[in-house]
Structure 1
Amino acid sequence: MEDHQIKRYTVTAALPYTNGPVHIGHLAGVYVPADTYVRYLRLKEKDVIFVCGSDEHGVPITLKARKEGVTPQEVVDKYHKIIGDSFRDFGISFNIYHRTSSQTHHETAAGFFRNLYDKGVFTEESTEQYFDESAQQFLADRYIVGTCPVCGNENAYGDQCEKCGTSLNPTDLINPHSTLSGKAPVLRKTTNWFLPLDKMQPEIETYVESHQKDWRTTVFGQCKSWLNGGLQPRAMTRDLEWGVKVPVEGADGKVLYVWFDAPIGYISATKDLLNADLSEEKKKEYYLKNIPVKEASWEDYWKSEETKLVHFIGKDNIVFHCIIFPAMLMAHGGYTLADQVPANEFLNLEGDKISTSRNWAVWLPEFLKDFPGKQDVLRYVLTSAAPETKDNDFTWKDFQARNNNELVAIYGNFINRVLVLSHKYFGGKAMPVGVLSQQDQEVAEQLKEFPEKIGYALENYRFREALSEFMNLARLGNKYLADEEPWKLIKTDPERVQTVLNIGLQLAANLAILSQPFLPNSADALFTMLNLMPQHWKEAGNINLLPEGHILNEAKLLFEKIEDGPIQAQIQKLLNTKMENEQVKLPLIEAKPNITFEQFAALDVRVGTILAAEKVAKTKKLLKLSIDTGLDQRTVVSGIAEYFEPEAIIGKQVSILINLEPREIKGILSQGMILMAENPEGKLSFATPSEAFTNGSVIR
């Protein structure tokens, strides 16, 4: 969309799931860049709303409730408050932080579904789904656990094996069992409503293709991969009790699919944001910010060609925001489609993938407690290391170094020197600028370029680049003072020092303006020290922000050095977590139901030898093995590539189940499964005879 066509912006941030607190991976991937962008738009005096809220439906909520022995509503109430409080205390400037358990949301999501239903958009299909006869309920994918057919992991879920990463259907699992009763489920017919993405593919493809030049490579590439594989109808309802009830007859015990319901949360949040009749109690519940919003209806922000819609998400949500949600909006009609979806990659922690289940994370509530007043430092570090085009890593040592060597030694040092010297030599006043030297004029000319350079980077979602340019201005100020040496000049040419410090103060005022999207708390502190009201972006680049005789307030440190002690404490906390994880054994699964001897005897397990091994193209987990079973030579695809090098296992004897029904994996027909042993740390070992056996020997 061309800039001259845009009258308003609707900016959304991915709805965090209310089964745990927010961590730095969430901040780096979504919330810090989104907040930076929105703060910039406000400084440009744009009409913008920034909406978010808690995603409170779906199977993980019910699993969490079951585990903690409470109701799903108690779970979401608990974490909605924790997450909302953390965002507020950290300084994410949502106009509203909403929740999908609200009445407004249930009415909006149900009405949206009903609109599509009445238009005949959905197809009603009967499918076989696993049912727990003991619990008397259909089982969502995450309520089913079994053995992964690819890697043999016995704790694979019905939608994905978290060990080898393979996407699964519940019926793919070997020996599936219900997490509710531990018993084997049975297949029963159930009816659900499907969004026919296959029929909508041409329209979706046109939409995606129109953004080839402006969407990030990862976003466009992932969308094209889905489209090239051919879109398939996707169920928009689920057999569950917790969620938005399906608003049609014959849908008892069914709720909307969480990825149908969740993105509509952006719309329901906007409705309540602009609802002037909301009570003060309800406004407090929804964390409404006192940020001016131009008088408008919610439709202006969702149903206008003059509105630019921007979704900030992580890369794991690309398909939902770029294919499924747009398809829903297209089917409904009248809605604005996203113009930009600047999805980020993932942030790792100390070289390891952030994992909530392993407590390998830096949780926002804990950070706020351990580092009070350091919100801007974390914003700075996460923006400097933002995973915009590839996964990046957060380390505590880097956090300390960026604070001490950049915020303190460069930006903070410049501000402190200018203000302290102005107080020391001229009683805290901005002195006359006097005659400008060539260097003064060069600094003034360079200053003019920074607002445009920083703004251009921000408008193109290059936040690391924008922050780097901001710091270049601080470096320019430091170099200017170092070259001029006013602490020496004061003895011989005090009039020249007046000019130097005047220009230094003007640079400081510009830094205050330009820092507001990145470092809002320190920007406020700097405006206070300068005795200046916060300024809009258009004022930046001006060398005359402070008039002659302007009185400054007391000089204070903008940033303080972080010592080794607090950093070492954080590192030790993570080391303790790692040790605890290593000591925890894998959770034991209840014993599987008894089988008959005849069933056991039906398994044909033989000794075989690996003749050849190679990695399967475009996968990280899979090896293609050629195995001599004694009876024949056959191909087996196994999810062990992360544990064994192909050349190291050639000639290795293995135990192989040879009468497993063949299955095509990544275009390769796999004819069996090799048996592996796994220890509590997740290490794999071949289940092999203790001495060499003839290929084809039977394992009983």
Structure 2
Amino acid sequence: MPKRYTVTAALPYTNGPIHIGHLAGVYVPADIYSRYLRGKGKDVAFICGSDEHGVAIALKAKKEGKTPRQIIDHYDQLIRTSFTKFGISFDHYSRTSRKIHHETAQEFFKILYDKGVFEEKDSEQLFDPQAEQFLADRFVTGTCPICQHHEAYGDQCENCGSSLSATELVNPKSTLSGYKPILKKTKHWYLPLNKFESFIKEWILEGHQNDWKPNVYGQVKSWVSNGLQPRAVTRDLDWGISVPVAGADGKVLYVWFDAPIGYISSTKEWAAAKGVDWKPYWCDEDTQLVHFIGKDNIVFHCIIFPVMLKASERYILPENVPANEFLNLEGKKISTSKNWAVWLHEYLEEFPDQQDVLRYVLSSNAPETKDNDFTWEEFQARNNNELVAIFGNFINRVMVLSHKYYRGSVPEPGKQFEEDKKVLEEMAQLPEKIGHAIENYHFREASQTLISLARLGNKYLADAEPWKLINTDPERVKTIMNTALQISSGLSILCDPLLPFTSVKLKNMLNLDSKTLNWKSIETKKTLLQPQHLLGKTSYLFQQIDDMQMDAQREKLKKSALDIDLEEKILASLKSKTSFKDFDALDLCVAEIIKAKKVKKTKKLMELTVRLGEEERTVVSGIATDFNEEDLIGKKVSLLTNLKPRNIKGIESQGMILLGENSKGNFVFVGPEDQNIVSGTPIK
């Protein structure tokens, strides 16, 4: 067994608030896990902090006419306040803008630099001559070469999800000036991931084949199969941590390099405040390190950061990285830019004192193995039908009857019947069942096992019917109510990791001393509440959520979507003018699709063979969700033929098919009206 646990939760980026996707993917499961370990008496450091560097923050600052410091200060305060109110029990929450982090990140860079780990390379990168600066990925937008989305970023197309480089965009432009960037030589340092392939294979693909989640293992395997490549650890930017070596003026550490080091600097800060040594939590083999992240961070926490830790020869490696999949909202992907989200700070205002309702719903519907969907209908149903009708109803019955029959004093039990013994024996087995689920990162299972105890208590009371026996067999009723109070006490302890606010409220109602009772008590003690123990006041644990509240939330989402659609239409009409020379450089021709097949292991990509007169070409297009393979054969389309070829999933794509979108958001071809036109005909 480990001597201690270091539990990290992905550092939230301080360019926006926290939404339910973040909670379901990272922070709720990490908090459940940490609370459970503490409840078992383990030494735990639950670490997090604000991620405050990188281009997205610099870009947001420029757009809003503010400094990066103003942006990060605002969102850091909003995020940490929201976490506190929601009950995320970090042992320490730091900031990567603090001095201790800058020093720790620079020291880490120097360790690897002095060991000769990095490769120094000159490369050509996009440069804005008008703004007189190199352009990081997010400072460049253009048309995606795969799906033709007009607002793809220099690192990713958010429409089709493809990873890109800025130089691959069609008609790129600088977000700073609106001008077309040029290529200019610059120097950077690279982490040679390719030299650590054998380490990743042995450590994860062989060593963790059976105990890591399939989605995590599969993504790592895919990256390794495609061949790991050197990755830049520095970039040209005026916001970030300065590169601490000679010849690096104007360069900062890439945010993906400095951010995970934030776990270490945050631990240092926590240890200093607590008066303990931080090193055992990161350098001792008897420590179990667990990273909680979303699936978009798998490559950073399973390949890049472990390579950094390994190369330093100073730190332990993570024992597990239980990444979750994505949570959608009402059938659509959560989008911060489109305001299609449930924001935590707004939820806390609109649903006061109902933190545990959201925690329970997100745990019960956690996207552990596949993307899941959050709906307000399910939120209402789980609250009303499970928390109120099962958990809350059982506790209310027990408390009301105990005060009515015994003036709030725990009755002395009489002879136990088989049904009394059976229900207590079943409760004694639940700490191990819930614990096993949590230790294996099965939080959905843990939440349903917990509610099964309340369901068991409800059934026990309904079958025993103490209200019918109180006048004819009061001694039997004492045993029934004593048993029901033992179940209530068990619930107050077991629900702490998942429903911490409910746990505190229930313990107060039962007047329980949480210091003397713990998970082990439920398994070993026959009596959790002693006879004559005085109970506290009765109150409702949960409250009904009505249809009007849910309608208001759905209307709020609908209004957000309409507002964003209107804004996008306005922006679309404001695109900058282009010159005839630029347009004339495009070589457009009519092409005929003669073969079509979906690209394996992708959702949207289709490999097309097109005919241009006597010539045949291969084109990869992101249309697989909108068209069937057989329906494409013989289709005449418009093809941009002089686009630089690009390798996509191992296929060389030699052009781009022009597409539009219909009113439903589906792709449609921009093709010739006359389908009898000869393929290869120029479009003028």
TM-score, length basis structure 2: 0.96
Listed one character per residue, the Cα deviations across residues 26-67 of structure 1 (whole Å, up to 9, x for unaligned) are: 011111111111111111111111110000000000111011
For 1:29, what is the secondary structure of its paired residue? Answer: helix
2:390 maps to 1:410: yes
Residue type of the alignment partner of 2:561: K
Q: CA deviation at 1:562?
A: 1.2
> 2: distance between equivalents of 1:54 and 1:681?
38
> 2: distance between equivalents of 1:680 and 1:564?
31
Using the TM superposition, name which of 217-226 and 673-682 deviates more. 673-682
> Given the superposition, is the C-alpha separation of residues 633 and 335 from structure 1 closer, same or farther in structure 2, using an over 3 Å criterion?
closer
Partner of residue 533, structure 1: 513
Partner of residue 235, structure 1: 232
> 2: distance between equivalents of 1:683 and 1:77?
40
- CA RMSD in angstroms comes to 1.7
Of the candidates 250, 254, 259, which is equivalent to residue 256 of structure 2?
A: 259
Residue type of the alignment partner of 1:684: F
2:450 maps to 1:478: no
Residue type of the alignment partner of 2:12: P
Pairing 1:627-642 to 2, within 5 Å after superposition: 627-642=610-625
Listed one character per residue, the Cα deviations across residues 465-491 of structure 1 (whole Å, up to 9, x for unaligned) are: 111111111111111111110000112
> 1: distance between equivalents of 2:584 and 2:375?
53
> Given the superposition, is the C-alpha separation of residues 628 and 510 from structure 1 closer, same or farther in structure 2, using an over 3 Å criterion?
same
2:61 maps to 1:65: yes
2:470 maps to 1:458: no
For 2:94, what is the secondary structure of its paired residue? Answer: strand
Q: CA deviation at 1:653?
A: 2.1
Checking the alignment, whether the CA contact within 8 Å between 1:610 and 1:627 is kept in structure 2 is yes
2:500 maps to 1:500: no
2:543 maps to 1:591: no
Checking the alignment, whether the CA contact within 8 Å between 1:17 and 1:55 is kept in structure 2 is yes
> Given the superposition, is the C-alpha separation of residues 248 and 633 from structure 1 closer, same or farther in structure 2, using an over 3 Å criterion?
closer
Checking the alignment, whether the CA contact within 8 Å between 1:197 and 1:327 is kept in structure 2 is yes
Residue type of the alignment partner of 1:239: D
2:314 maps to 1:314: no
Residue type of the alignment partner of 1:310: V
Partner of residue 400, structure 1: 380
> 2: distance between equivalents of 1:69 and 1:660?
36
Partner of residue 559, structure 1: 542
> 2: distance between equivalents of 1:663 and 1:565?
52
Listed one character per residue, the Cα deviations across residues 246-278 of structure 1 (whole Å, up to 9, x for unaligned) are: 0111111000010110001011111111223xx
Residue type of the alignment partner of 1:122: F
> 2: distance between equivalents of 1:255 and 1:690?
53
For 1:540, what is the secondary structure of its paired residue? Answer: helix
> Given the superposition, is the C-alpha separation of residues 94 and 319 from structure 1 closer, same or farther in structure 2, using an over 3 Å criterion?
same
Residue type of the alignment partner of 2:319: D
Q: CA deviation at 1:7?
A: 0.7
2:153 maps to 1:157: yes
Of the candidates 527, 549, 565, which is equivalent to residue 544 of structure 1?
A: 527
2:284 maps to 1:301: no
Checking the alignment, whether the CA contact within 8 Å between 1:11 and 1:310 is kept in structure 2 is yes
Checking the alignment, whether the CA contact within 8 Å between 1:637 and 1:668 is kept in structure 2 is yes
> Given the superposition, is the C-alpha separation of residues 592 and 619 from structure 1 closer, same or farther in structure 2, using an over 3 Å criterion?
farther
2:133 maps to 1:137: yes
Residue type of the alignment partner of 2:313: G
2:118 maps to 1:122: yes
What's the % identity of the aligned pairs?
59
> 2: distance between equivalents of 1:15 and 1:590?
35
> 2: distance between equivalents of 1:151 and 1:531?
61
Paired positions, count: 677
Residue type of the alignment partner of 1:591: S
> 2: distance between equivalents of 1:536 and 1:507?
14
Q: CA deviation at 1:147?
A: 2.3
> 1: distance between equivalents of 2:125 and 2:531?
77
Q: CA deviation at 1:660?
A: 3.6
Pairing 1:637-652 to 2, within 5 Å after superposition: 637-652=620-635
Q: CA deviation at 1:629?
A: 2.5
Q: CA deviation at 1:583?
A: 3.1
For 1:689, what is the secondary structure of its paired residue? Answer: coil
For 2:568, what is the secondary structure of its paired residue? Answer: coil
Checking the alignment, whether the CA contact within 8 Å between 1:585 and 1:681 is kept in structure 2 is no
Q: CA deviation at 1:117?
A: 1.1
Listed one character per residue, the Cα deviations across residues 146-189 of structure 1 (whole Å, up to 9, x for unaligned) are: 22222222322211222222221222222222111111212111
Using the TM superposition, name which of 91-100 and 161-170 deviates more. 161-170
Q: CA deviation at 1:403?
A: 0.7
> Given the superposition, is the C-alpha separation of residues 109 and 592 from structure 1 closer, same or farther in structure 2, using an over 3 Å criterion?
farther
Residue type of the alignment partner of 2:576: A
> 2: distance between equivalents of 1:45 and 1:617?
48
Of the candidates 445, 448, 456, which is equivalent to residue 468 of structure 1?
A: 448
Q: CA deviation at 1:226?
A: 1.1
Partner of residue 446, structure 1: 426
Listed one character per residue, the Cα deviations across residues 122-160 of structure 1 (whole Å, up to 9, x for unaligned) are: 111111111111111111111112222222223222112
Pairing 1:92-491 to 2, within 5 Å after superposition: 92-208=88-204, 209-276=206-273, 296-491=276-471
Q: CA deviation at 1:691?
A: 3.0
> Given the superposition, is the C-alpha separation of residues 33 and 664 from structure 1 closer, same or farther in structure 2, using an over 3 Å criterion?
closer
Checking the alignment, whether the CA contact within 8 Å between 1:607 and 1:695 is kept in structure 2 is yes
> Given the superposition, is the C-alpha separation of residues 227 and 592 from structure 1 closer, same or farther in structure 2, using an over 3 Å criterion?
farther
> 1: distance between equivalents of 2:253 and 2:617?
45
> 1: distance between equivalents of 2:460 and 2:405?
18
2:676 maps to 1:696: no
> Given the superposition, is the C-alpha separation of residues 260 and 660 from structure 1 closer, same or farther in structure 2, using an over 3 Å criterion?
closer
For 1:612, what is the secondary structure of its paired residue? Answer: strand
Q: CA deviation at 1:674?
A: 2.0
Structure 1 unaligned blocks of 5 or more: 277-292
> 2: distance between equivalents of 1:60 and 1:536?
45
2:504 maps to 1:524: yes
For 1:338, what is the secondary structure of its paired residue? Answer: coil
> Given the superposition, is the C-alpha separation of residues 134 and 565 from structure 1 closer, same or farther in structure 2, using an over 3 Å criterion?
same
Using the TM superposition, name which of 323-332 and 145-154 deviates more. 145-154
Residue type of the alignment partner of 2:579: N
TM-score, length basis structure 1: 0.94
Residue type of the alignment partner of 2:520: K
For 1:339, what is the secondary structure of its paired residue? Answer: coil
For 1:543, what is the secondary structure of its paired residue? Answer: coil
Q: CA deviation at 1:684?
A: 3.3
Of the candidates 70, 74, 90, which is equivalent to residue 70 of structure 2?
A: 74
Structure 2 unaligned blocks of 5 or more: none
Q: CA deviation at 1:593?
A: 5.2
For 1:584, what is the secondary structure of its paired residue? Answer: helix
Residue type of the alignment partner of 1:273: W
> 2: distance between equivalents of 1:445 and 1:661?
70
For 1:45, what is the secondary structure of its paired residue? Answer: coil
For 1:275, what is the secondary structure of its paired residue? Answer: helix
Residue type of the alignment partner of 1:323: I
Of the candidates 636, 648, 652, which is equivalent to residue 669 of structure 1?
A: 652
> 1: distance between equivalents of 2:24 and 2:583?
51
Residue type of the alignment partner of 2:310: M
> 1: distance between equivalents of 2:585 and 2:56?
37
Q: CA deviation at 1:602?
A: 5.1
Q: CA deviation at 1:601?
A: 4.9
Residue type of the alignment partner of 1:496: R
> 2: distance between equivalents of 1:592 and 1:204?
49
For 1:274, what is the secondary structure of its paired residue? Answer: helix
Q: CA deviation at 1:678?
A: 4.3
Q: CA deviation at 1:427?
A: 1.3
